[in-house]
Structure 1
Amino acid sequence: MIALDPIPFPIDTLPLRGGASDVALIDRAGVLDFAGLERLTGQVAAWLSAQNLAPGARVASWLPKTRLACVLPMAAPRAGLVHVPINPMLKRAQVAHILGDSGATVLVSQPARLETLESGDIPDGCLTLFESALDPSIQPLPRSNASGDTLAAILYTSGSTGRPKGVMLSHANLWLGAISVAHYLNLSAADRVLGVLPLSFDYGQNQLFSTWAAGASYAPLDYLTARDVVKAVERLAPTTLAGVPPLWVQLLEIEWPETVANLLKRLTNSGGALTAPIVTGLRARFPSADLYPMYGLTEAFRSTYLSPELVADHPDSIGRAIPFAEVLVVRPDGTSAEPGEPGELVHAGPLVAQGYWRDLERTAMRFRPAPAWAKGSGMAVWSGDTVVRGADGLLRFVGRDDEMIKSAGNRISPTEIEEAVVAGGETVEAVALGVADARLGQAILVIARGDGTREADLRARLRRDLPSFQQPLRYVWRADLPRNANGKLDRAAIKAEMTS
């Protein structure tokens, strides 16, 4: 296990020496050791510095998981710049918004991608650089000496009904997040991590950093189908795979050779709660792997995790605070909620981001001082998520305040309804919404994956399992449910469609 180090160093000093193999990166270009990673980071930083950019200038990247894309999150801060990764799945309007909103002065991309943009999408004065232009003979830039609170990255949260907002992350945020995760996942230099998540996603970027913090190997993968992931596991023999719930559903729907499934020793989940059937399926399909359910938000990166030994007995829990995080459960009046009492999850401590880029109003709404009774002081993230802390200290997610269903005077958690819907196997994915109803105020609508042939069985089971006020009024069946660029179910898009 990597030792906890509370000192925030510049993020570009993160790579440590690996184990016996000393392999940092395994990609289509081959194998890169840690000395090569350090050299390439310095060369990319020197390449960016040669563009004569002002300190703190924003460098956007719109790339698949190439070697350059893996190095840029450290190389740009080494050059005194701010990295703005753009999800390669985004389309031109979203890319144009991020470039304009961030004030990017450089866009690193590929010619074929830029051909999909239109006139005006790239702001005037924004230089475009192609990864093919990097001179392999350029002298590396030495490591930076930036302070921990220096801005290092702006990560844009995916948005469907509203435009994405940029979360500002410092060197300390990124460094401490990497050390924290590497510690509680028990990563070591012997591990190999398969990176299927976008590097623009905080979960995906941290996976890169935490892997290298532990001296382990990272293998990036751009995949089209779940079967591509199976083939990559067979080819690369990773010990660790991170995903979001929709990906786990897909991976459980296809065949896994037993010898391939047993290669995985660690599964980590964030970006949505795992349902009991998914937990059961993962434990059965990957019996050699420890399962780590996690909860997080981009504004504080990660808040909680559940230790693998607790998963079987507490499949609905999001666990306890991760290292360097203080997680509070707060009543509406600002006091501490008692065990068993719902309250807002408030995250305090050094993992809290610096706010939203150029958005003081939304920053003031979400980033507010920690309660006076908190152990630490300073800014905290008020998540808007309702949780309950049990007598055993474990937290359970209830729902987002803006997603709670108010029906016949009852506040109903959509998560609870969704878990009940998928529990019997009539469907594997579902989204519960509140829709206007003259009699109830809001009625429960469920959008589920499938053809609806087992709806009668589902209704009969829920009549047995749920009280009358939690019974869905209507079901809409779909062959597939929309997902956002990070692979998560796109609840905002579903809600917009169903309520418009």
Structure 2
Amino acid sequence: MRYVPLEHDRKCGATVLQPDPVPQPLDHILAKGDAHAPALVLRSGTLDYLALDALVGRAAAGLRARGLVPGDRVAAWLAKTRLACIMPLAAARAGLIYVPLNPLLKRAQISHIMADCGARLLITNESRAASLQGGDVNCPVETDEDAIFADDALPPSSADPSDVVEILYTSGSTGRPKGVVLSHANLWLGAISVAHYLKLAPADRTLCVLPFSFDYGQNQLFSTWAAGGSAIPLDYLTPRDVIKAIGKHGVTTLAGVPPLWVQLAETSWPEGVPQLLRRLTNSGGAVPVPLVRKLQALFSNADLYLMYGLTEAFRSTYLDPALVDSHPGSMGKAIPFAEILVVRPDGSITDDGEPGELVHAGPLVAQGYWRDPERTAERYKPAPAESEMGGTAVFSGDRVVRDVNGLLSFVARADEMIKSAGNRISPTEVEEAAISSGAAMEAVALGVPDERLGQAILLIVRPFGDEAEERLRSWLKAELPGYMQPRDILLREELPRNPNGKLDRAAIRKEHGA
């Protein structure tokens, strides 16, 4: 990949690189690796790039053989199995739109997403399929992964890079999860961008511990393959599982979220294993400065990349590891192919030191929300007049500030999203689940500071009936995934209201330091 210099105004925060050549269909990403180099390391064995590409072709042919046609949605609700690793590329090769589902989700969330995207096939395992009830999924459900693979194989696709290839579901500040629509170009350029600024190389081995249903987690695969390296998927239960895998496979690259770094920093390591790592990357929440210092001391051979992103535009900024010592609280500058602006409400560019909204323009910007023009229009708008790249931009709602060197720092979230352990959680979704339990007449979910999680969920309810808290916790445990469980539940006979009789959420947040 070559890059063309592009000089932009520093105040616009634009990257100094632009793509050359044009992006390719997503499944072509495997062509960047050496045919006989290790591409995917599984418990069952290692696949080189030639074998992995053949497997993608067989899965693509198998999907087509089920009567799926280009543009159909296919969903997978899987752990990090062989099929889960290749499904994004297989669906792309078959001309389908892939919908990865978080393995931690439960039937209510799965039912909503499946109905919203109109998937024509769900691939999962028997235990997850058994948790579904009648009407949750209105399409065939396949529980035998091997049945997906055909004997023949489809050749690499000739898709237009602007074609839609994936829908990633992410929680909004209100309502249920919404699907972010991504093109081949979005995912291709994201992979090339990350591989470039992380300086990934064919000798690198990436331990993929993050869920593939997240853009950050999925990019572990794509960026590694864009560099010709080896990807090692891992579903772990404890931090010791991660440590063991790093030593076993000689891992050089590890992506994580703040809670994982806390756990790894507090766990004893075998001598020499921390020095195997050459780079650590963080997103999904800020790393506190004391933890940054612990990571630097423990992983003395590794570069630490502190990053910021949002699913609507993949990733926006990273901090050069050379600046971590002097600016450990910074988000850094724009990643390749991104233009980042800090704007006032009128769209003009802020001065240095003046907080404003982070706006992301350029080819990494997603295509909007799936069949939701109203919410798309709220977030995706014409780029500010001072944008060099122009086109459609994502207005993040996050407030940041730029210093005299062009480095950005996070100030606050403008919405009410709860960000816990790298997960974006809709308070409305938690509140609706609480009320549906029958143990709460009203509910307010807040994100409150938590040393390990970044934010923990505080649920404040006006209870109904006896033993309300016990009934509520039991219901939420059954209906919501673990990362959406409240840390604390407070029972209140009355909740603050505004003059219109509505719950005064601002007063409630202030009272509880949220």
Q: Could you state the TM-score of these two structures normalised by the residue count of structure 1?
A: 0.81
Q: 2:133 maps to which residue?
A: 118
TM-fit CA distance, 1:17: 4.9
What whole-Å deviation, never above 9, does each CA across 1:465-495 have from its counterpart, x for those lacking one?
xxxxxxxxxxxxxxxxx9xx999x76x9569
Mapped partners of 1:238, 1:97: distance in 2: 37
Q: 2:265 maps to which residue?
A: 252
Q: Which secondary structure state, in structure 2, belongs to the residue aligned with residue 388 of structure 1? A: strand
The structure-2 alpha-carbon separation of the partners of 1:92 and 1:403, relative to structure 1 and needing over 3 Å to count, comes to: closer
What whole-Å deviation, never above 9, does each CA across 1:216-236 have from its counterpart, x for those lacking one?
000000001111111111111
Correspondent of 2:307 among 272, 283, 294: 294
Correspondent of 2:170 among 141, 157, 161: 157
Q: Which secondary structure state, in structure 1, belongs to the residue aligned with residue 80 of structure 2? A: coil
Correspondent of 1:37 among 52, 64, 69: 52
Q: Which secondary structure state, in structure 2, belongs to the residue aligned with residue 65 of structure 1? A: coil
Q: Which secondary structure state, in structure 1, belongs to the residue aligned with residue 41 of structure 2? A: strand
Q: 1:318 maps to which residue?
A: 331
TM-fit CA distance, 1:262: 0.7
What whole-Å deviation, never above 9, does each CA across 1:429-458 have from its counterpart, x for those lacking one?
xxxx9xxxxxxxxxx9965459xxxxxxxx
Q: 2:219 maps to which residue?
A: 206
In the alignment, is residue 130 of structure 1 matched against residue 125 of structure 2? no
Q: 2:433 maps to which residue?
A: none
Q: 1:54 maps to which residue?
A: 69
Q: Assess if the C-alpha contact under 8 Å between 1:18 and 1:189 holds in 2.
A: yes
Aligned length: 429
Q: 2:119 maps to which residue?
A: 104
**Amino acid paired to 2:102:** N
Mapped partners of 1:42, 1:60: distance in 2: 18
Q: Assess if the C-alpha contact under 8 Å between 1:16 and 1:214 holds in 2.
A: no
The structure-2 alpha-carbon separation of the partners of 1:446 and 1:32, relative to structure 1 and needing over 3 Å to count, comes to: closer
Q: 1:473 maps to which residue?
A: none
Q: 1:400 maps to which residue?
A: 413
TM-fit CA distance, 1:306: 0.5
TM-fit CA distance, 1:158: 4.0
The structure-2 alpha-carbon separation of the partners of 1:260 and 1:2, relative to structure 1 and needing over 3 Å to count, comes to: farther
Mapped partners of 2:390, 2:352: distance in 1: 23
What whole-Å deviation, never above 9, does each CA across 1:75-132 have from its counterpart, x for those lacking one?
1011010000001111111111111111000111112220111111111x44535203
Q: 2:210 maps to which residue?
A: 197
The structure-2 alpha-carbon separation of the partners of 1:29 and 1:445, relative to structure 1 and needing over 3 Å to count, comes to: closer
**Amino acid paired to 2:364:** L
Q: 1:367 maps to which residue?
A: 380
In the alignment, is residue 351 of structure 1 matched against residue 364 of structure 2? yes
Q: Percent of pairs identical after alignment? A: 59
**Amino acid paired to 1:338:** D
Q: 1:379 maps to which residue?
A: 392
What whole-Å deviation, never above 9, does each CA across 1:27-76 have from its counterpart, x for those lacking one?
11210000001100100000001011232000000110011100000110
Gaps of 5+ in 1: 405-413, 419-432, 434-443, 451-481
Correspondent of 2:290 among 274, 277, 298: 277
**Amino acid paired to 2:215:** D
Mapped partners of 2:489, 2:363: distance in 1: 35
The structure-2 alpha-carbon separation of the partners of 1:39 and 1:91, relative to structure 1 and needing over 3 Å to count, comes to: same
What whole-Å deviation, never above 9, does each CA across 1:171-192 have from its counterpart, x for those lacking one?
0000000000000000000100
More displaced stretch, 272-281 vs 16-25: 16-25
Q: 1:94 maps to which residue?
A: 109
Q: Which secondary structure state, in structure 2, belongs to the residue aligned with residue 163 of structure 1? A: coil
TM-fit CA distance, 1:159: 5.8
Q: 1:16 maps to which residue?
A: 31
The structure-2 alpha-carbon separation of the partners of 1:289 and 1:486, relative to structure 1 and needing over 3 Å to count, comes to: farther
Q: Which secondary structure state, in structure 2, belongs to the residue aligned with residue 259 of structure 1? A: coil
**Amino acid paired to 1:74:** L
Q: Assess if the C-alpha contact under 8 Å between 1:2 and 1:179 holds in 2.
A: no
The structure-2 alpha-carbon separation of the partners of 1:496 and 1:71, relative to structure 1 and needing over 3 Å to count, comes to: farther
TM-fit CA distance, 1:342: 0.5
The structure-2 alpha-carbon separation of the partners of 1:332 and 1:269, relative to structure 1 and needing over 3 Å to count, comes to: same
**CA-based RMSD:** 2.8
Q: 2:318 maps to which residue?
A: 305
Mapped partners of 1:157, 1:445: distance in 2: 17
Mapped partners of 1:447, 1:325: distance in 2: 30
TM-fit CA distance, 1:18: 3.5
Gaps of 5+ in 2: 4-18, 421-426, 428-445, 453-476, 492-507, 510-514
**Amino acid paired to 2:229:** A
Mapped partners of 1:147, 1:445: distance in 2: 41
More displaced stretch, 344-353 vs 1-10: 1-10
TM-fit CA distance, 1:19: 5.5
Q: Which secondary structure state, in structure 1, belongs to the residue aligned with residue 388 of structure 2? A: coil
TM-fit CA distance, 1:496: 8.9
Mapped partners of 1:384, 1:161: distance in 2: 14
